[in-house]
Amino acid sequence: MITIQLYWNNICILHRQELAFLEQMKADLKKKDIDLSVTCFGLGYGRHLSDYLREPDSTLPDMVVSADLEVFEDSRIFGRFRESLHPLARRLPVKQEEGVPLLLRGDFLLPYLAIPLVFYGTGESIPENGSLSLDELVSERFPLTFGGIHNSAAKTVVKTVWETGGADAAKRLLSASSLTGMPIEAYQRVRNGMNSLALVPSVYALRADGNQSKAAWPADGAVVVPSYLCAADTIPEEAAIAVAEALRSPLISRFYVENGCLISCTPGSPEAPWPEGQKGDIRLPSAEFLDKLEPEEFYAVYDSCRREI
């Protein structure tokens, strides 16, 4: 029996059901002589995985599933373990539809899920034809709201705009926008009339009634917040593959899509729901951009320009 320590900081909107899946998966893996131990981070657990791994005496796991992207994007954290990873993305294919290949970041990070961030608005904030561009809103300093300010959702939006329009565009976005603690709070601000337009997970935007509230897929692509799976060479590669395949089972993949409107990166999984003919491209910071963006530079802008509410 091999013991594998998995750190879990995945997209949180379905976490109660996730825990049930993980318990069943642990029982199934024991039949393959794998004792999977799962430690959860994120909402409800006191701290994010990146905050824990920033501590110099923190214990590194055998495997990670994380939508806390600073784990992989902050070189001060990722540098602790990036050289010891198995090439899971070379061994396991990803879906070719829904823009999933854009999520690939080399051989060592396997894309797992992605949550699309789309427009949800009231009044005339969304044109009749539904065409609305995030980059144009940034150039106009339109008062957008989005979240979450302390997790990867807001940071990914800022980094995406930064790559497209430079640091000045990121500053314009942050200074004109209202950032909420969690993405659902941005959705609630529009519902309560406090803002006219928000960038929110598609699962919330799909609640729009088409009259008082509307949803639109950004014309320049929906920013997506992915989660990645990786495994260290502290365990055999074949054991890591067995755990990864269990996490990518058809049942789990379908659950994420049907209940969370998430993009599953597993081949053969169903497509995330969105009105026919209205779904567009996705976008996110490229691996090349992230490799060049120093964490100190990013946080100097992010912490000084953001408007938290």
Q: Does the pLDDT at position 123 exceed 90?
A: no
**Residue at 3: amino acid letter:** T
- Per-residue model confidence as pLDDT tens digits over 169-192: 999 999 999 999 999 999 999 999
Kindly state the tokens that stand for 94. Answer: 């990803």
User: The pTM is what?
Assistant: 0.95
pLDDT at 89: 97
- Per-residue model confidence as pLDDT tens digits over 71-83: 999 999 999 999 9
pLDDT at 131: 87
- Per-residue model confidence as pLDDT tens digits over 245-273: 999 999 999 999 999 999 999 999 999 99
Domain range annotation of the chain: 2-112+226-273, 115-222+283-305
**Residue at 143: amino acid letter:** P
Q: Does the pLDDT at position 225 exceed 90?
A: yes
Architecture of domain 115-222+283-305: 3-Layer(aba) Sandwich (3.40)
The verdict on whether omega for the bond into residue 44 sits within 30 degrees of 0, i.e. cis, is no
Taking Cα atoms as reference points, which of 302, 280, 277 lies closest to residue 157? 302
Torsion 135-186-226-48 (CA) sign: positive
Kindly list the distances between the CA atom of residue 265 and the CA atoms of 101, 188, 203, in Å, as whole numbers in the listed order. 9, 29, 17
Quickly name the fold that domain 2-112+226-273 has: D-Maltodextrin-Binding Protein; domain 2 (3.40.190)
- For 197, phi then psi, to 5°, come to -150, 135
The reply to whether 115-222+283-305 shares the fold of 2-112+226-273 is yes
